A and B are shown apart, each in its own frame.
Chain A
Amino acid sequence: MITAPVRTTPPIADGRAAPPALLVGSGLRKRFGRTEALRGIDFELQPGELVAVMGRSGSGKSTLLHCLAGIVPPDEGTVMFEGRSVGDLGEGERSRMRRTSFGFVFQFGQLVPELPAIENVALPLLLNGIARSRALEIAAPWFPRLGLAGLERRRPGEMSGGQAQRVAVARALVTRPAVVFADEPTGSLDSLAGEQVMELLTAAAQEQGASIVLVTHEARVAAYAHREVIVRDGRVSGPAAE
């Protein structure tokens, strides 16, 4: 089985070295009980890059995302973020890295149902110690951009699935993270709502210079990415890069 080569400093056309990768997973292995979810995966993400991770259910693609994001430690292999080994960080530091440098969007927005939309967007800022009034001030301009002007005080249960997911995208990006991890962000939406979420996610990430790791089984969603990585049986399969 072919695995993608690790390219820590890929050469570029004029001979200069490309900037170092932002996020590098090397030789990642992860086992859950008797199931080997990852069997030695190499993965690399450049600054500003959008990579789609595709594969069937149970292929290991979500486990890969969790390992790269420092949510789940790999059994073997290393994850380097901005040149630092995530495994060497203490839990406090790792948690801080996830709050300040990473953003997350999941299939079901996982918004806090009791909080109005604007407070859901502001939540990561509050967790980072920013004063409430300032956090709400930063969150407010997202709403016209989300196409949700006037809905700031709605609770998630009072919004459509597409609207709630757009709120989740804003929450992921409000801290200006370096990497957004999106796990099936359109999985529960119809085509049009899914398209709106992807437009918002990719445009906002590009504007902020954020990279995206996008786990999806939908080709139309993966087509927003610069390249795709196919995971099959815990390994990377086929052409991993252009």
Chain B
Amino acid sequence: MSVPHALLGLLNQRSSHGYDLKHAFDRYFSPEHPLAYAQVYSTLGRLEQRGRVRLDAIERAEGPDRRRYAITPEGADELDRWLIEPLEPEPRLQASLFTKVVLAILTGRPVEPLVDAERHAHLKRMRELTAVRRSGPLPVALLADYALFHLEADLRWLDLTAARVDELRRQVLAIPEGS
């Protein structure tokens, strides 16, 4: 799970405060393991240093000042690249894959290109593992099988997600803020 890219994706929807970003992050990606405020602010600080986000406004209210952040064109470019770049195929990718799919939906990007790129990367890795399995002794073949079954599970999840993307888009976009 890439917290910086998830925050960039959320900021790509609209400029936002760290407090609201944290709650949006928890709501979409990590309801059972909420993100620490400190991690949100430190990540935003690093993204600002790298020119990926900028301070949009400082709003004064009761209590401490609220700093509103906005994504920069460089940040949007980085988000584009990250979304389409396939993850290194390995077992247990579901959290990262899920983050990408939801961020593509939230930011109005098409889901199919990232699903296709990921499927292609997975199949490439599965071809390599199949070659290992066919040429190696049984213990090696069984280890390759273990990885193959997990990669296949990822692909089945991707296919199922791609098949349900319209409904997923409807439901994700309907999640009320603050829920």
- Chain A residues with CB under 8 Å of chain B are 56, 199, 218-220, 222-226, 228, 230, 232, 237-239
Contacts and interface: CB of A to CB of B under 8 A. Distances in A.
9 pairs of A and B residues whose beta carbons are closest in the complex: A238-B116, A223-B126, A223-B130, A239-B120, A219-B155, A219-B152, A223-B127, A220-B152, A228-B123
B132 to A, nearest CB: 11
Contact of A239 (B116, B148, B151): B116
Contact of A224 (B116, B119, B130): B130
Contacts of A218: 152
A199 B141 CA distance: 13
B72 to A, nearest CB: 30
B119 A238 contact: yes
Nearest to B163: A56
B122 interface: yes
Given A219-B152, A228-B123, A238-B119, A199 B163 contact: no
Given A228-B120, A237-B112, 6 more contacts: A218-B152, A219-B122, A219-B126, A220-B126, A226-B127, A238-B112
**Residue among A56, A218, A220 facing the most chain B CB atoms (10 A cut-off):** A220
A238 B112 CA distance: 8
B128 to A, nearest CB: 9
Contacts of A237: 112, 116
B117 interface: yes
Contacts of B113: 238
Contacts of A225: 127
9 contacts: A56-B163, A220-B126, A223-B130, A223-B148, A228-B120, A230-B119, A237-B112, A238-B119, A239-B116
Summarize B's interface: helix, strand, loop or mixed: helix
A218 B82 CA distance: 27
Contact of B117 (A222, A232, A238): A238
A102 to B, nearest CB: 25
Interface in B41-94: none
Contact of A238 (B120, B130, B149, B151): B120
B166 interface: no
Contacts of B130: 220, 223-224
A208 B74 CA distance: 54
Contact of A222 (B112, B123, B129, B134): B123
Contact of B151 (A199, A219, A224, A226): A219
A83 to B, nearest CB: 30
A230 B121 CA distance: 13
A74 B151 CA distance: 36
B1 to A, nearest CB: 24
A223 B123 contact: yes
B159 interface: yes
A77 to B, nearest CB: 23
Given A56-B159, A199-B134, A219 B116 contact: no
Interface string B158-179: 0100010000000000000000
A18 B120 CA distance: 24
Given A220-B126, A224-B130, A230 B152 contact: no
A69 to B, nearest CB: 24
Contacts of A222: 123, 126
A230 B116 contact: yes
A220 B163 CA distance: 20
A195 to B, nearest CB: 9
A226 B130 CA distance: 11
Interface string B108-145: 00001100110110110011011000100000000000
Contacts of A226: 127
A134 to B, nearest CB: 34
A223 B122 CA distance: 9
A220 B126 CA distance: 7
